[in-house]
């Protein structure tokens, strides 16, 4: 509890550099946007998650790292409402107890692959979620057209996914997620498939867009640099069954410049996190070896 409190003040202090509205926003929201307590998930004989505890406050960007197969994707599927955790869990959305299925349509979810529809052009892919919500196409397209420049897609609205590069496809997918305006955005390794250079560009760009739009984000990655560079907090998950092993507050000032990754602070954070991850990776390795 103390950790959470301290951490909260840290976030509020951080917000001091942002505009006034967001300070009030953060200060007013004493309860977390979403809260998971004692969440477990079993698939047959495999325990993917055990007594997982996560809480995310409005406006936070929380990153999650962990060894492969630690149940990160299961956590995401629960938060997206696609999977129900084992009974006995506590799941609160804005303080209201909910079942995972209540979250369907309440969270904007971006999976690892862009999953663009090949028969829809950039604009129509971006407005997919809006269309499903029942917004008239013309209106949705207009909304999306205004967002194109910010996503580096101006002039590409009529292109089809097979005409786009990997980075652009990913930006279309992100735009689709942004247009589906929900309190919580879940990003599951969105840049995992991109080359290193494109990835750093996308990270910086994501921070810009996030700061402008003030959205709450949970971001899964296997890249520690990415987790620190983006996050207000980094959660390290244990090997299966997944729990939160370490909750690391990142107090690097925002806006973060690209060269922050070489700062001493960054490197000491990276050291702590890598040690924690290494320990867990070894465990899952040994389990696999048996």
Partner 1 sequence: MSGTATLAANLPVVSTGRIGVVLRPVLWLLLALVVVEAVVVVFGIRTYYLPRPSVIASTIMATPGAYLAGLWRTFLETALGFVAGSMFGVVMAVVFHRWQTLRELFFPLFIVSQTIPVIAFGAVVVLWFGNTLFAKAVISFYISFLPVTVNTMLGFSAVDPRQVQLMRSFGASDAQILRRLYLPAALPQLFVALKLASSLALVGAIVGEWFGDTTGLGVLLLQAMYNENVAGIWATIVVSACLGMGLYGAVSYAERRIVFWGGEQ
111: contact with partner 1 by CB under 8 A: yes
Distance CA(110)–CA(60), nearest Å, equals: 17
Interface residue with partner 1 among 180, 219, 229, 266 (CB under 8 A) is 180
* Nearest residue to 60 via CA among 214, 186, 243: 214
Instruction: For partner 1, give the closer residue by CB, 79 or 230.
Output: 79
Q: Per rule CB under 8 A, is residue 74 in the interface with partner 1?
A: no
Q: Do residues 224 and 273 make contact, with C-beta atoms less than 8 angstroms apart?
A: yes
Among 10, 105, 152, 192, binds partner 1 (CB under 8 A): 105
User: What phi and psi values does residue 64 have, to the nearest 5 degrees?
Assistant: -125, 125
Per-residue mark of binding to partner 1, 113-132 (x: CB under 8 A): x-x-xxx--------xx-xx
Answer yes or no whether residue 102 interacts with partner 1 by CB under 8 A: no
H-helix or E-strand containing 264? helix 264-289
How far apart are CB 268 and partner 1 at their closest, in Å? 37
Q: Which stretch binds partner 1 (CB under 8 A): 42-50, 51-59, 80-88, 246-254?
A: 80-88
Residue with tokens 């979810």: 109
| Distance in Å, CB of 271 to partner 1, minimum | 35
Four-CA torsion 184, 185, 187, 188, nearest 10 degrees: 40
DSSP-assigned beta bridge partners for residue 90:
37
> What DSSP designation does 193 have?
T
**Residues near partner 1 (CB under 8 A):** 77, 80-82, 104-109, 111, 113, 115, 117-119, 128-129, 131-133, 160, 162, 180
């Amino acid at each position: 509890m103390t950790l959470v409190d301290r951490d909260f003040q840290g976030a509020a202090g951080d917000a001091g550099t942002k505009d006034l509205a967001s300070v009030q926003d953060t200060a007013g929201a004493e309860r977390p946007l979403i809260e998971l307590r004692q969440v477990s998930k079993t698939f047959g004989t495999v325990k993917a998650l055990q007594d997982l505890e996560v809480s995310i406050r409005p406006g936070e960007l929380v990153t999650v790292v962990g060894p492969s197969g630690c149940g990160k994707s299961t956590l995401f599927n629960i938060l997206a409402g696609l999977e129900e955790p084992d009974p006995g869990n506590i799941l609160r959305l804005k303080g209201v107890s909910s079942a995972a299925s209540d979250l369907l349509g309440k969270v904007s979810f971006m999976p690892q692959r862009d999953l663009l529809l090949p028969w829809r052009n950039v604009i129509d892919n971006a407005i997919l979620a809006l269309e499903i919500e029942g917004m008239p196409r013309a209106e949705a397209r207009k909304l999306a057209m205004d967002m194109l420049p910010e996503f580096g897609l101006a002039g590409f609205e009529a292109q089809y996914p097979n005409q786009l590069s990997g980075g652009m496809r990913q930006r279309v997918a992100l735009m689709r997620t942004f247009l589906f305006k929900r309190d919580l955005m879940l990003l599951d390794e969105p840049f995992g498939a991109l080359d290193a250079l494109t990835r750093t560009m996308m990270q910086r760009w994501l921070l810009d867009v996030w700061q402008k739009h003030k959205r709450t984000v949970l971001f899964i990655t296997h890249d520690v640099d990415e987790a620190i560079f983006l996050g207000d907090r980094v959660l390290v998950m244990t090997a299966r069954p997944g729990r939160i092993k370490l909750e690391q507050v990142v107090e690097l000032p925002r806006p973060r410049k690209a060269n922050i990754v070489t700062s001493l602070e960054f490197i000491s954070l990276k050291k702590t996190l890598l040690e924690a991850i290494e320990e867990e990776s070894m465990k899952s390795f040994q389990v696999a070896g048996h």
